[in-house]
């Protein structure tokens, strides 16, 4: 829990995005100051600030849709808050409705949750400054105008650089793959680049994907990236198994040249130019292939790991060459074009009707609905209390509650403490700067722009730093509205502390603990892995792509569930150790599956296909049984897969000739690792069930 408070994450917001977001906030306010219409400029700036949160990566169509919806939701909230501000009962009722509705939006994803949060905040803030009907309409209209301006800035490059989001997403994958090629392997870790691949899947095959002939080339590049990832993963794992020092060092040079080629590809995709710099790296990679071949030919009986490494390295070189050809957007599409003709997400991941999704979550068993009830109740009670108590700047209390309350305890705890610390620091520093260093509206405007850029870049790096910047932004905006920073600093600090404490107490009174959900999440992951493995021997490309995508999604969900469990107070240490162990061994299984997939892509014909398919069926059945036992808390009977695996390996060795010996060695290696992983998974689940019975 403490580690989560000081964790510094990598920055994921480009400088250009932070600058354009800040410009959309600062420019209308500057125009208002220059023209003498500060209030109008302030309203547009506030609307741009609220819509800034939803300027996230993705196709331009999707970006425009979610930002405009957020802008109109914020405008409606500002209109309603301004209109009913004098009427406490109506405001409390509206706070309840907005809190429940905004909280329930977490079921639709983070973008919808951000829109719900900004709507709740605007409702309580604008209620502090009541207006007539005309004034309320003007306030709501200015907020919408600011959101539309922010949207315009976000999609301004659409006509000139129509496919820039797709190019940048693919470039980011290449950079992450290059980094993974240089890291020491750990088979207990999840396969690399999972989230980036999920993002690209939605970008290239989702509902709001871009249209045009060039999209086929992007899909070809994405499929090539998939193959490169498989080869890299196999080679990184093999580097550990190679006992020969020369072979291991040579393989390390192969991976380094592959990383350089991928970095050249990333740079070319970012700029939209031809990846000429990758040619030199490919020459170095080819030289290491010759060195590996010489090491194999020199040995009378070359190690199985060296034979496999050479085959996988040759496959990697072929995929990188294809990537270089296609990266200039004019190369041959080859057979991949037919394989990915059905360019859409798997049915299970296609967006459902938002109304159907919300309706399905209206139940006490739903985490989203429990969060919505907590949020709505706390928001309404806080509004009622601050109105009845007549607290100065009391709207900061319900505003803080809306920001701090999250669906899980770890998130609420972390956001609560960081919110208090960041707000207090932001209040003190900004008030001091405005009083002593930045005197005058134009200097304050410069400070506002700097704080906007800092907030946008730092909020995902460390929430406390982001809140500190955001608090400074709000203080300056309110100062332009006539509220002096120094006079309200103490009141705002006290209100922030009260709001965070109320949010934590509300969660403690009615918690949603992750310990009840982690086993089903892990079971879903095992089921998804089984589905992915089962399609490897099928000639159904669409089914394979769908199960691969579902497996990635299930893995990220399980990983997030374990992280939430770790952040809870007094977590069940045995359950946490069990979840970590099961997740690690499931990762070992899926990495072995990916090595097997790399073999299937290069093998002309599989030896002993019937026996192989039969043993693969036993592996799939074992995984299904393990997932069922995990989900139902049932006792699992350990399967004797090891005996069957040894018999299958002996049969394969006896049946294949010299031509297929390399393929057979790779198949045996992959199945040996799968068997070991399944045996360990069965042991972990059996041990956990025994501990559970002892406790009972």
Q: Which two tokens stand for residue 393?
A: 């700047």
**Residue 149, number of CB atoms within 10 A of its CB:** 21
Q: What is the DSSP letter of 348?
A: G
Q: Which two tokens stand for residue 307?
A: 């034979």
**Cβ(222)–Cβ(247) below 8 Å:** no
**What is the rounded distance in angstroms from the CA atom of residue 257 to the CA atom of residue 406?**
45
Give residues with Cβ within 8 angstroms of 209, minimum separation 6: 59, 203, 215, 343
Q: What is the DSSP letter of 107?
A: G
SS3 content of the chain, % helix, strand, coil (to 5): 80, 0, 20
Q: Which residue has the tokens 């010759």?
A: 290
Tell me which CATH code domain 515-695 carries. 1.20.58
Domain boundaries, the chain: 2-159+352-512, 164-349, 515-695
Instruction: Give the three-state DSSP class for 207.
Output: coil
Count how many Cα atoms sit within 13 Å of the Cα of residue 619 in the half-sphere of its side chain.
32
CA-based nearest residue to 13, from 3, 21, 23: 21
**Cβ(574)–Cβ(691) below 8 Å:** yes
Residue 82, burial from CB neighbour count under 10 angstroms (0-12, 13-18, 19+): buried
Phi first, then psi, for residue 611 (nearest 5°) are -65, -40
What pLDDT, on the 0 to 100 scale, is given for residue 71? 94
**What is the rounded distance in angstroms from the CA atom of residue 436 to the CA atom of residue 447?**
13
CA-based nearest residue to 377, from 513, 506, 509, 511: 506
Three-class HEC string of 251-284: HHHHHHHHHHHHHHHHHHHHHCCCCCCHHHHHHH
515-695 and 164-349 share a CATH fold: yes
CA-based nearest residue to 453, from 52, 37, 38, 2: 52
**What is the rounded distance in angstroms from the CA atom of residue 88 to the CA atom of residue 390?**
11
**What is the rounded distance in angstroms from the CA atom of residue 520 to the CA atom of residue 320?**
39
Chunked mean pLDDT (size 10), the chain, 696 residues? 70 86 94 92 92 84 89 94 92 94 85 86 89 93 95 84 80 90 78 80 68 70 85 86 85 92 89 79 90 86 84 88 72 36 50 68 81 92 89 83 82 77 82 76 90 90 85 84 71 83 84 84 93 87 82 88 82 85 91 87 75 89 90 67 85 71 82 90 83 58
CA-based nearest residue to 513, from 563, 565, 578, 583: 565
Tell me which CATH code domain 164-349 carries. 1.20.58
Q: Which two tokens stand for residue 613?
A: 């398919």
**Cβ(50)–Cβ(150) below 8 Å:** no
Distance from the Cα of residue 451 to its chain's centroid: 26
**What is the rounded distance in angstroms from the CA atom of residue 630 to the CA atom of residue 521?**
10
Phi first, then psi, for residue 33 (nearest 5°) are -65, -45
**What is the rounded distance in angstroms from the CA atom of residue 71 to the CA atom of residue 48?**
8
Three-class HEC string of 22-42: HHHHHHHHHHHHHHCCHHHHH
- φ/ψ region of 334 (left if φ > 0, alpha if ψ in -120 to 50, else beta) reads left
**What is the rounded distance in angstroms from the CA atom of residue 110 to the CA atom of residue 91?**
26
CA-based nearest residue to 342, from 601, 543, 598, 61: 543
**What is the rounded distance in angstroms from the CA atom of residue 330 to the CA atom of residue 322?**
12
What pLDDT, on the 0 to 100 scale, is given for residue 306? 86
Give residues with Cβ within 8 angstroms of 145, minimum separation 6: 43, 44, 47
Q: Which two tokens stand for residue 361?
A: 């979550």
């Amino acid at each position: 829990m403490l580690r989560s408070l000081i964790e510094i994450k990598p920055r994921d917001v480009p400088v250009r995005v932070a600058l354009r977001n800040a410009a959309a906030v600062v420019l209308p306010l500057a125009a208002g100051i220059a023209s003498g219409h500060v209030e109008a400029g302030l309203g547009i700036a506030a609307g741009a600030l609220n819509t800034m949160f939803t300027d996230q990566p993705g196709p331009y169509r999707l970006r425009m849709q979610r930002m405009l919806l957020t802008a109109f939701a914020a405008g409606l909230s500002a209109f309603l808050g301004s209109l009913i501000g004098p009427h406490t009962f109506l405001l409390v009722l509206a706070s309840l409705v907005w809190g429940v509705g905004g909280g329930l939006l977490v079921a639709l994803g983070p973008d919808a949750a951000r829109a719900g949060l900004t709507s709740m905040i605007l409702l309580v803030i604008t209620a502090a400054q009541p207006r007539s009907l005309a004034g309320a309409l003007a306030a709501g209209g200015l907020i919408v105008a600011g959101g539309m301006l922010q949207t315009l800035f976000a999609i301004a490059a659409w006509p000139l650089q129509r496919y820039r989001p797709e190019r940048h997403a693919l470039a980011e994958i290449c950079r992450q793959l290059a980094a993974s090629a240089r890291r020491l392997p750990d088979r207990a870790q999840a396969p690399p680049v999972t989230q980036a691949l999920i993002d690209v899947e939605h970008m290239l095959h989702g509902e709001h994907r871009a249209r045009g002939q060039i999209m086929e080339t992007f899909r070809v590049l994405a499929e090539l990236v998939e193959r490169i990832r498989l080869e890299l993963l196999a080679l990184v794992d093999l580097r550990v198994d190679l006992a020969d020092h020369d072979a291991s060092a040579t393989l390390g040079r192969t991976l380094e040249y592959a990383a350089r080629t991928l970095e050249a590809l990333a740079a070319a995709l970012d700029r939209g130019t031809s990846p000429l710099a990758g040619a030199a790296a490919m020459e170095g990679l080819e030289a290491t292939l010759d060195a590996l071949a010489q090491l194999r030919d020199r040995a009378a009986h070359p190690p199985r790991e060296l034979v496999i490494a050479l085959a996988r390295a040759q496959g990697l070189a072929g995929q990188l060459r294809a990537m270089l050809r296609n990266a200039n957007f004019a190369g041959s599409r080859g057979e991949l074009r037919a394989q990915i003709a059905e360019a859409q997400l798997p049915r299970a991941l296609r967006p459902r009707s938002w109304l159907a999704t919300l309706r399905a979550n209206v139940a006490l068993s739903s985490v989203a609905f429990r969060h919505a009830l907590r949020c709505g109740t706390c928001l309404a009670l806080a509004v009622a209390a601050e109105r009845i108590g007549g607290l100065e700047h009391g709207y900061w209390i319900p505003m803080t509650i809306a920001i701090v309350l999250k669906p899980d305890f770890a998130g609420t705890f972390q956001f609560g403490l960081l919110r208090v610390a960041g707000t207090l620091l932001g209040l003190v520093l900004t008030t001091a700067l405005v009083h002593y260093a930045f005197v005058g509206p134009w200097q304050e405007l410069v400070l506002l722009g700097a704080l906007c850029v800092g907030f946008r870049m730092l909020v995902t790096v460390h929430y406390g730093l982001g809140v500190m910047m955001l608090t400074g932004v709000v203080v300056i905006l309110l100062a332009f509205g006539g509220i002096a920073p120094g006079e309200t600093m103490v009141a705002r600090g006290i209100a922030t502390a009260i709001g965070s404490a109320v949010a934590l107490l509300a969660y403690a009174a009615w918690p949603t603990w992750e310990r009840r959900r982690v086993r089903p999440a892990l079971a879903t992951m095992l089921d998804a892995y089984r589905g992915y493995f089962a399609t490897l021997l099928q000639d159904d490309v669409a089914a394979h792509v769908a199960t691969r995508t579902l497996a990635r999604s299930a893995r990220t969900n399980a990983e997030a569930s374990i992280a939430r469990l770790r952040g809870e107070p007094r977590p069940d240490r045995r359950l946490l150790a069990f979840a970590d162990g099961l997740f690690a061994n499931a990762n070992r299984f899926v990495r072995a599956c990916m090595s097997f997939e790399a073999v299937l892509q290069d093998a002309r014909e599989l030896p002993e296909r019937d026996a192989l398919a039969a043993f693969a069926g036993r592996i799939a059945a074992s995984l299904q049984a393990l997932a069922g036992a995990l989900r139902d808390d049932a006792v699992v009977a350990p399967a004797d897969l090891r005996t069957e695996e040894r018999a299958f390996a002996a049969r394969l060795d006896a049946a294949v000739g010299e031509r297929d010996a390399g393929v057979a060695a790779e198949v045996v290696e992959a199945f040996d690792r799968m068997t070991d992983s399944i045996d360990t998974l069965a042991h972990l689940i059996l041990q956990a069930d025994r501990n559970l019975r002892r406790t009972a």
